[in-house]
Structure 1
Amino acid sequence: MSNHHQDKTTFLERLIFNNRPAVILICLLVSVFLFYQAMQVRPSTSFEKMIPLHHPFIEKMLEHRNDLANLGGNTIRIAVEAKDGDIFSKDYMETLRQVHDEVFYIPGVDRSGLKSLWSPSVRWTEVTEEGFSGGEVIPQTYDGTEASLNELRNNVLKSGQIGRLVANNFKSSIVDVPLLEVYPDPEDQGKLLSLDYRQFSHELEEKIRDKYQAQNPNVQIHIVGFAKKVGDLIDGLLMVVGFFGACFLITLVLLYLFTWCIRSTISVLVTTLVAVIWQLGLVHLIGYGLDPYSMLVPFLVFAIGISHGVQKINGIALQSGEADNALTAARRTFRQLFLPGMIAILADAVGFITLLIIDIGVIRELAVAASIGVAVIVFTNLILLPVAISYIGISKKAVERSKRDAHRDHPFWRGMSNFAHPTVAPISVVIALVLGISGFLYQKEHLQIGDLDQGAPELRPDSRYNLDNDFIIRNYSTSSDVLVVMVKTGPEGCSTYEAMEPIDRLMWKMNNTAGVQSAISLVTVSKQMIKGMNEGSLKWEALARNKDVLNNSIARAEGMFNTDCSLAPVLVFLNDHKAETLKRAVKAVEEFAAENNREDLQFILAAGNAGIEAATNEVIATSELTILILVYLCVAGMCLITFRSLAATICIVIPLILTSILGNALMAFLGIGVKVATLPVIALGVGIGVDYGIYIYSRLETFLRAGLPLQEAYYETLKSTGRAVLFTGLCLAIGVATWMFSAIKFQADMGLMLTFMFLLNMWGALWLLPALARFLIKPEKLAGKVGGSLLAH
C-alpha cells in the first residue's frame, strides 16, 4: 500500500481478507442451506394477524366470541344473481341449493352458522286469526312446481329477509358463510389446520363461481368478505415476482452503464440476490410466511443491498487506479466504507424494529423480516462483495475510466457543488423550509387514518372484488360493513324492559347517524312480534312493559342473544368502512354508552368487520406519530454516536424529515389513507434514505479534515460518493416505478410512494445536506483533525 495511513489495518479486515477462501466457502454453504429454506416459503396470513389483538374492542370481541355466533367479522357473502327474471324459478333455486351444499363441504367453513334460503334456521312468521303461524322459508314439500314457487314467494315476503338474505329487487340471494380460523383436518381429525386464504379463495372460484356460472348461464356469482379479499391480494401480489424480475433487469443494464464492467455488475447483483435468499430462508426458519404486506420486504432488501453494493464497487474502482492489485483496492475500500456502511445498516435495522410497537401481527412480522434482511447485507454486501472482487477484480476499461474521472473537471458535479455556495445555500434552506411547512399544513388538514374508499381500497375500483362489493351495496339493505355493539346484562337480563328500552334508543340514535344504513337487534324482533300479537296494528309496534310479553316476543329472535340472555348484540349496518364513517359511528355509540352504562347494563364496543376496522384505525392513529419519532430518534442517535457531532446529525436527518412530510402530503393528495398497508412504508422510506446521507457526509468530512474548503470538499465528494448516490436513487426509483402498472392498487400505490421516497431522499442528501452544512459545519475546526467521528482515519 502506497500511503502509510492506508496500511493501518483493523483486526476485522485481517480476519476477513487473510481467510478469503474460508469466507467464500462459509457463505456458499450458508447460501445453499438458506436457498433450500427459501424455497419452502409460502404465502400465508391469518385473520388474527391482521387485527390489533390487544385493543379493547378486539379483546371484548374475543372475550364474547362464543356468544356472538357469526358476528366476529371473518365471514364470506356469496350473492347468487339471476340475470333474467327473479329468484323464484326452479332452475335458480336448484342452483342456489347446490351452491349452499357445495360451500358446506369446503374446509374452513363454520357449517353450524352457514345460512341461506335453504337453511332450516331461516324461517317465516305471520299472524293469523288463530295466532302465530310459521315454518321454514323453503318447506319440506318444496318440489319446484309453480305452486311451491308461489308458496316460496309468500314465505320470503313474510320472513323479514328482504334486503338481508334476499335482494330488494328479488333478483339475487345471499349465502352467508362464517369461517373458522383453525379447523380439524378432514383426513386426520386429531390434527388442526389453519385456514389457507389463498387456497380458500381458489376453491371459491373453482367450486362456486366458475362451476355454477358455467352450469347455469342465467346465474352470476358475486363473492365478498375478508378471506376473499386477502386471497385476491395474495394472487395479485405474486405478480411481485415479475416486477422483481423487471427491476433486476433494469438494475443490470443501469449498473453496467455505471461501472462499464460486467464482472463488478454481476458481483453486485449476485451478492444482493444472496442477501434476498438469506432473508427469505431465515424468515422461513423462524416460522414466518409471506403475507400481502411483507411481500415488499425482499425488494427492500434488494434495494438496500444495491445501494451499498454500488458504493463498494465505486470505491474499489476509484482505489484500483492507485492500488497495485485487486486485493489491495478491495482492502482499502473495505477499510474506508465498512464502518459508514455498517452504521447505515444499523440505522436501517433500528428504524425497522420500531415498527414492533404496533400491536398488529402483520406489521410486527414485517418489522422482523425487514430487520433480518438488513442484517444479512452486512455479510453479503459489506464482506462477501469486497472479497469476491479481490479475486475477480475490476476490468481495465472501468479502472481507466475511473482514473480519467478522478483527474478531470466535471461541469455537472461542479454545478451541483454550488449547493454548498454561501449564496445558494440560504436559498436552498428557505425553499426546504417553505416546502416542509406547506407539506405539513396540507397533510395535517387532508391526511386521514384508514380507508377512504368503498370496498377494498387495496384493489383497483374495477377489480372483480370491488365490482362484487358494489353489487351487494346496491341491491341489499344490509351492507357487508357491520359494527356490532355488545349489550351486556346480568343473566336473563337482556329481555327486561330496563335493558331493551335503552337498546331501542341506541338503535334510534344510530339510525339517525350519518353513514348508517340500519340497525337491528332483539328489539326489532320483539316489536314485530308484539305488533303481530295485537292483530298487526301499527300502534302496538312498541316495547311492552310486561315481562311475560317481552319474553314471548323474543322467542323467535334466534341469534340475537346468547344462551343465558346476558349478551345481546346490536348490529349497525354502515354504508361503507371509510375512516370518517367509522369514526362517526363509534363516537355515537361511545357517547350513548357514557350516558347509559350502569352496573347491570353495559354497551360495549365492538365486533363485526367494521368494529375491527375501527380498532385498527385507532391503533394506527396512536402509533403513527410515535413510530416516526422513534425512527428519527434512533437514526439521529446512530448518527450522533458515529459522527460525534450534533451538526452532522442535523445535516443527515433534516432531509429525511422533509421527505417524510412531503410523502405524507403526497398520500393526502392522492387520497391514500394511513393504514396497515401504508404505515410501514413511511418508516421503511426513512430507513433506506439515511444510507445516502451517511455515505455523503462521511466522505465530505474526510475532505474537510484534509483542509479543503466546504464547496471544494463537496465537489470532491460528488465526484466519488455523490455519483454513486445519484445512480442508486435513479436506479431504484426506475425499478420500483414498474409497480405502478400492477393490477393491485395497493402495490401500485406502494410503487408510487417508494419511487417518490427514493428520489426525494437521494435529492435531499445531494441538495439540502450541503446547504445545511454551510450553516452548521465549521471546516476550519475540522481541518487537520484526525479524531472526532468514528469514521475518521
Structure 2
Amino acid sequence: MTINAFINRLEITIFRHRLFVLVSFILLSLFLGFQASQIKLDASFTKNIPLNHEYMKTYLKHRENFGGANNVLISVCHQKGDIFNPEFFTALKGVHDQLFFIPGVNRTQVKSLFSPSTRFVEVVEDGFAGGPVVPADFKADEHGLNIVKNNIEKAGIVGRIVADDYSCAMVKAILMEKNPNTGEKLDSIALASVLENEVRKPFEKGNITVHIIGFTKMVGDVAEGAKGVVTFFAVAIAITSVMVFLFSRSISLTILPIACSLIAVIWQMGLLSSLGFGLDPMSILVPFLVFAIGVSHGVQMINAIGKKVAQGLPTKDAAQFSFRSLIIPGGAALLSDTVGFITLLSIDIGIIRELAITASLGVAVIIFTNLLLLPVLISYLNLHKNSQTAQEKTATQSDNNSSLWRFMASFTQRGVATIILAITTLLFLLGYHYSQQLKIGELHAGAPALHEESRYNQDTFLITNRYAISVDYMSVIVETTANACTDTNVLKTMDDFQWHMENVQGVQSAVSLPSVMKVINAGYYEGNLKWRIISPNQFALAQALSNVPSSTGLLNNECSVMPIILFLKDHKAETIDRVVEQAKLNISQLNNDLLTFKLASGPIGVMGATNEAVAEAQLPMMIYVYAAVIILCLISFRSVRATISVVVPLFVVSTLAQWLMTALDIGLTVSTLPVIALGVGIGVDYGIYILSTMSVKLRDGLSLNDAYLAALYERGSAVLITGITLAIGVSTWFFSDLKFQVDMGILLTFMFLVNMLAAVTVLPAIASFLWKTEK
C-alpha cells in the first residue's frame, strides 16, 4: 500500500466515524486529565548530576565518610555589633537544634559552635589541652561568652564556623538521599519549605538575620518562582488567542486550535503522571512549548480549511482535504520535533533526560490533537454558510498581501538570491567565529537559576563576603593503603599537591590532613614555625594525628582515604576549568604506587563533572538532532534538494544562536543546552510547510518563482503569524523571577523569529541554485 493510499483510507475512516473519534478523545482526555491532576513537582539532587561520570563515581563512593555536595549552610548573623550576646547565642542554639531534628538531615554531619566535634586545642605547660568550643555548662552571660570567645580563637575556626568580623556564625549540615521516616527519596522542595518556615522564620527577629543556601534551598526558591509560570502561561494564551483571532477573524476558529493545544498539554501531563514521572522545576516551561507548537500547527490547519471554504467547499470537505494535505508535512515536522527531543536522552544527566521525555511526549500527542482532532471538530462547524464572506475576506487578504508576496517571490531570482546567500554566509562566518568562544558552565556568581537580587543569591554573597572560606569548594580524594596517615611519603606527596593547587589562580585556600598535622606538630614546639613540617619520625606523626579525629572529615576510620579540600573564589566556568586542568596536571605527576589522587567531590566537583558532560554531549546532540531532521525530510520530500533547502537555514540559525549566547554572556549549561535542540526541532516546521507546497507546485510544472509565490499565498500568512505569535509569547519570559527562564526566553524568541525569517528568505534563495528557474 502506498503512502497516499494509506492516507486516503485513514481520512475516510476518521471522517466517516467522526462521532466515535470525538467520544474516544473525550474519554481519553477525562482519564489523562485526572492523571494530570495527580502530577507533582519533583526535584532531587542526583537528577542534576551525571552519575556515570568518573568524578561522580568518586563522589558517590566516598560521600558517606566525607559528606556530599548536597549540603545546607545556614549563617546566623547579628545586625548590630558582634555575636557575643545572649540574643545571638539563643538564636544560634535554636537554629542548630531545629536543623538537627529535621528528617533528611544527616545528624552526624551537623556542625556549628554547639557541635561536640567543634573543639579547640591549645599548648600548655604539660603539652596540649582542649575541649568543646562551647562547654557543656555554657551560660550566655558575660563570663560564659568570654570563655567561648577565647575558645573560638584557639580553635582556629574564624572564617569557617565564625565570620571574619565576628558578626555571624555558621550551622552546616549534609542531607541524606532518602527521608529516614518514609524511606522515600528526599523531597527537596518540601525540605526547602521546612527550612524557610521552621528555621528562618522563627529565629529571624530583632537583630537576628538567618541566611540559608544549598542545593535544596535553591531548588525550593526555583519552585517558588516557577509558580509564576502559570501567569506567563495565561498571558501567552491571551496573546495567542488575540493573534489567532486577528488571523482567522472567527471566534470558533480561534477557540478550537487553542483548545486542542491545551488538550495536548493535558495529555502530556497525564502521560507523565501515568509513567511515574513528576515535573521538575527546571523543565516546567516545557508545557508552554508544547502549547506553542500545537498552536503553530493549529494555525496551519485553520488556514488551509479557511482557504478551501473560501473557494466554496463545504466545511466537512474542506476539513477532509486539509487533513489529507497537511498530515504528511505536519506529521514530518512533528516527528522531527519528537525525534530531536528524544536525542537529548543521549546526555547522561537526569534532568535533561526527563526534559527529553516530557517534550517528546508533548509533541507526539500534538499529532493526534492538532492534526486529527482539530479538523474533525471544525468539520462540525457551519463555515460554508458564510463562504461568500470568507471568500471576500480571503480575496481582500490576498490583495493586501500580494505586493509583499511578489516581493518575497523575487528571492528565488539568482541575483537577489546571491545577495541573500552572501549576507547569510557572512553572518554564518561571524556566528561561527564567535560561537567558538561560547563557554561551558555558569558565567555568573551565585545560583544561575535565580536573579542576582534574589534572596538566595544575596545570602550567598553575604556568606562569601563574611567568611574566609568559599561556598564553592572541591574535594580531591586521596586513596591509599590503611594507616597511611603516619606514612611520611604519603603525607608529603599530599602536601606537595596542596601547595601547587594553593598557587593556582582562583583557589582561595586549601585544607587537608597534612596541613593540619603540620600546625599541630609546631604546637609541640611552642608554635615555632620552623617545626610546621611533616615530621620524618613516625611517632611524631602519630602524636600529631591523635589530635585529629575522623569526625573532622579529613580522614576515614581506616586512615586509607583523605580529602584535600580546595576553596575557590567562585564557580565561574573559567575558574573551574583552570583549577581542574591544573589538578589533572599535578595528579599526573604525583600519582604513584602509594597513593592515587581522584577528582572530585564537593559542589565544584559536581559542577566540573556537569560541565564536562555538557561539553561532551554538545556535538553528538547536534549531530543526532540534524540527522533526525535530515532523515525525516528525505522520507517526506524524497528529495536531496528539498532537504538541503530546509536544513541549511536551520544550521545557520543554530550557529547565530550560539553567537547570541556568547554576546549576552550566557553559558552552555544544563538549562540552556536543550534550548538549541528545541529551537532546531521547532524551527524546522516553517521550512517543511513552505517546501511541501512548493514541491507540489514544482511537480505540477510551475517555475520556481511561481511555485514559491503559490506557497506564500497558501502558507505565507500562517508561517508569519505563527513565528510572530510564538516569539511574542516567549518574550514575556523576560519578566520572570527565574534567571534561567529569562535566558531561555531570549534564546527561544530569537530562534522562533530568525528561523521563520530564514525559512522565507534563505530557503528560496538556496532553492534558486538547486532548481532551474523555469521548468
* TM range, smaller chain: over 0.9
Contact 2:38 2:273 in 1 (8 A): yes
Matched, 1:647 2:638: no
Paired letter, 1:56 = E
Offset from partner CA, 1:90-112 (integer Å, 9 cap, x none): 11111100111111122221111
Indicate conservation of the 8 Å contact 2:39/2:269, yes or no.
yes
Partner secondary structure for residue 380 of structure 2:
helix
Matched with 2:725 is 731
Alignment partner of 1:686 is 2:694: no
How far apart are the structure 2 equivalents of 1:364 and 1:718?
A: 38
Unpaired runs of 5+ residues, structure 2, are: none
Pick from 103, 108, 130 the counterpart of residue 134 of structure 1. 130
| Contact residue 486 and residue 570 of structure 1 kept, 8 A | yes
Q: Residues 516-595 of structure 1: matches in 2 within 5 Å? A: 516-557=507-548, 558-595=552-589
Contact kept in structure 1, 2:309 and 2:390, CA below 8 Å? no
Query: In the alignment, which of 200, 218, 232 is matched to residue 229 of structure 1?
Result: 218
Kept in 1, the 8 Å contact 2:164–2:467? The answer is yes
| Pairwise CA distance, 1:495 | 2.9
Kindly report which structure 2 residues correspond to 1:589-628, keeping only aligned pairs within 5 A, or say none.
589-628=583-622
Deviation at 1:778, TM superposition (A): 3.2
Q: Which letter maps to 1:51?
A: I
TM-fit CA distance, 1:382: 0.5
Q: Supply the AA of the counterpart residue of 1:108.
A: G
Q: Partner residue of 1:93?
A: 89
| Residues 142-201 of structure 1 deviation map (CA, whole Å, 9 limit, x = unaligned) | 11111111111000001111110100111101000211120222xxxxx41222222211
SS in 2 for 1:764: helix
> What secondary structure is seen at the aligned counterpart in 1 of 2:742?
helix
Q: In 2, Cα distance between the equivalents of 1:246 and 1:349?
A: 26
**Aligned position for 1:24:** 22
Following the alignment from structure 1 to structure 2, what is the Cα–Cα distance between the partners of residues 520 and 440?
A: 43
**What CA distance in whole angstroms lies between the structure 2 residues aligned with 1:292 and 1:537?**
55
The one-letter amino acid paired with 1:235 is: E
Q: What CA deviation, in whole Å up to 9, does each residue of 1:504-563 have, x standing for no partner?
A: 111111110000010101112201110111122111111101112112212232321011
Q: Which residue of 2 aligns with 1:346?
A: 335
Supply the distance in 1 between the matched residues of 2:760 and 2:260 (Cα, whole angstroms): 27
CA displacement at 1:588 relative to structure 2: 1.5
Mapping for residues 307-322 of structure 1, pairs under 5 Å:
307-322=296-311
The answer for the alignment partner of 1:489 in structure 2 is 480
1:330/1:386 contact within 8 Å kept: yes
Shift of 1:9: 6.7
Secondary structure (helix, strand or coil) at the match of 2:379 reads helix
Kindly indicate whether the alpha-carbon contact (under 8 Å) linking 1:561 and 1:568 is maintained by their aligned counterparts in 2: yes
2: distance between equivalents of 1:677 and 1:762? 24
Q: Distance in 2 between matches of 1:394 and 1:61?
A: 64
Residue 196 of structure 1 is aligned with which of 187, 206, 209? 187
Q: 1:240 aligns to what?
A: 229
> C-alpha separation between the residues in 1 aligned to 2:360 and 2:133?
56
- Alignment correspondent of 1:293: 282
Name the residue aligned to 1:791: none
Residue by residue over 1:740-769, the C-alpha shift from the partner in whole angstroms, topping out at 9 and shown as x without a partner, is 011111111111111011001111101110
Give the equivalent residue in structure 2 for 1:787.
Answer: none
Q: By how many angstroms is 1:296 displaced?
A: 1.5
Q: Choose from 664, 680, 693 the match for 2:658.
A: 664
Does the aligned pair in 2 maintain the 1:478–1:517 contact within 8 Å? yes
With structure 1 as the length reference, what TM-score do the two structures score? 0.95
Shift of 1:409: 6.8
Q: Does the 8 Å contact 2:497/2:590 carry over to 1?
A: no
In structure 2, the residue matched to 1:790 is none
Q: How far off its partner does 1:642 sit?
A: 1.4
AA of the residue aligned to 2:272:
V
Q: Which residue of 2 aligns with 1:178?
A: 174
3-state SS of paired residue (2:479): strand
Counterparts of 1:149-548 in structure 2, within 5 Å, are 149-185=145-181, 191-214=182-205, 217-394=206-383, 396=386, 397-405=389-397, 410-444=402-436, 446-548=437-539
Q: Is the 8 A contact 1:652 1:769 kept in 2?
A: yes
Distance 1:249 1:197 in 2: 33
The residue number in structure 2 matching 1:64 is 62
Residue identity opposite 2:278 in structure 1:
G
Cα distance in 1 for partners of 2:48, 2:401 equals 55
Q: Among 63, 72, 75, which residue is 1:76 paired with?
A: 72
Q: In the alignment, which residue of structure 2 is the partner of 1:757?
A: 751
Task: Look up the SS of the partner of 2:414 in the other structure.
Answer: coil
Query: Is 1:53 matched with 2:51?
Result: yes
**Helix, strand or coil at the partner of 1:79:** strand
Q: Which residue identity does 1:523 align to in structure 2?
A: P
Deviation >3 Å, runs of 4+: 6-9, 397-400, 403-409
Q: Could you tell me which residue of structure 1 aligns to residue 120 of structure 2?
A: 124
- Whether contact under 8 Å (1:648, 1:777) holds in the other structure is no
| Separation (CA, whole Å) in 1 of partners of 2:258 and 2:211 | 45
Aligned partners of 1:210, 1:561: CA distance in 2, in Å?
Answer: 36
In structure 2, how many angstroms separate the alpha carbons of the residues matched to 1:501 and 1:563?
20
- Matched AA of 1:67: N
Counterpart of 1:413, as a letter, is: W
Contact preservation (8 Å) 1:259, 1:398: no
Q: How far is the alpha carbon of 1:399 from its aligned partner?
A: 4.7
Q: 1:7 to 1:77 in 2, by over 3 A?
A: closer
Give the residue type in structure 2 aligned to 1:193: E
Conservation of the 8 A alpha-carbon contact between 2:240 and 2:725: yes
CA separation of 1:672/1:8 partners in 2, compared to 1, >3 Å: closer, same or farther? closer
Q: Which residue of 1 aligns with 2:667?
A: 673
What do you get for the CA RMSD once the two structures are aligned?
1.5
> How far does residue 406 in structure 1 lie from its aligned partner after superposition?
5.2
Does structure 2 conserve the Cα–Cα contact (< 8 Å) formed by 1:81 and 1:219? Answer: yes
Partners of 2:413 and 2:773 within 8 A in 1: no
Where 1:572 maps in the other structure, the secondary structure is strand
Deviations 1:615-674 (A, max 9, x none): 000011111111111111110111112111111111000111111001000001000000
Query: Counterpart amino acid of 1:411?
Result: S
Contact 1:260 / 1:398 at 8 angstroms: preserved in 2?
no
Structure 1 pair 61/8, CA: closer, same or farther in 2 (3 Å)? closer
CA separation in 1, counterparts of 2:438 and 2:89?
48
Please report the TM-score for the alignment, with normalisation by the length of structure 2: 0.97
In 2, the alpha carbon distance for the partners of 1:366 and 1:170 equals: 45
SS of 2:348's equivalent in the other structure is coil
1:421, CA displacement in angstroms? Answer: 2.1
Q: 8 Å contact 2:690–2:716 — kept in the other structure?
A: yes
Aligned residue for 1:184, secondary structure, equals coil
Matched positions, count: 766
Which ranges in structure 1 are unaligned for 5 or more consecutive residues?
1-5, 186-190, 784-793
The 3 A distance-change label for structure 1 pair 722 and 409 is closer
User: How big is the shift at 1:403?
Assistant: 4.5
Amino acid at match of 2:508: Q
Instruction: Please give the secondary structure, in 1, of the residue aligned with 2:284.
Output: helix
Q: CA deviation at 1:407?
A: 7.4
